[in-house]
Amino acid sequence: MKSESSEMQIDSIVQFLINASASDFHKTRPNSSINFRDVKLAYTVTPNNEKMYLLCGEFQIQEKNDKDKVWIPFATIKTFGYEQWIGGQASTYCKDAKKY
């Protein structure tokens, strides 16, 4: 059973990852409409046995003439700040992560 303080810590991490990810997408694609799907919290265990949390999912940019809508994987990773990975590298991080 998870403690209340543990749940509050996870909530704080989730909020941080969502804000960092949204800010990064807005900064790099300011005038785009973006769809998201399959977004989930996951974690990996670092070599020094600590959990490293990440937000995994896919996004799709809405373009005016987009007949071939492509879903692109992304991973936003909680580090000392955050890192955001797009495409194949994001898939690698998320494939090996455990869902929270």
Give the pLDDT confidence of 61-98 residue by residue, as tens digits: 887 666 668 899 999 999 888 999 999 999 999 998 88
Domains annotated on the chain, with CATH? 4-99 (3.10.450)
Under a CB-based contact definition with an 8 Å cutoff, are residues 56 and 43 in contact?
no
Under a CB-based contact definition with an 8 Å cutoff, are residues 76 and 88 in contact?
no
Q: Is the pLDDT of residue 7 over 80?
A: no
pTM of the model: 0.81
Give the pLDDT confidence of 20-29 residue by residue, as tens digits: 999 999 898 8
CA distance linking residue 32 with residue 90, whole number of Å: 21
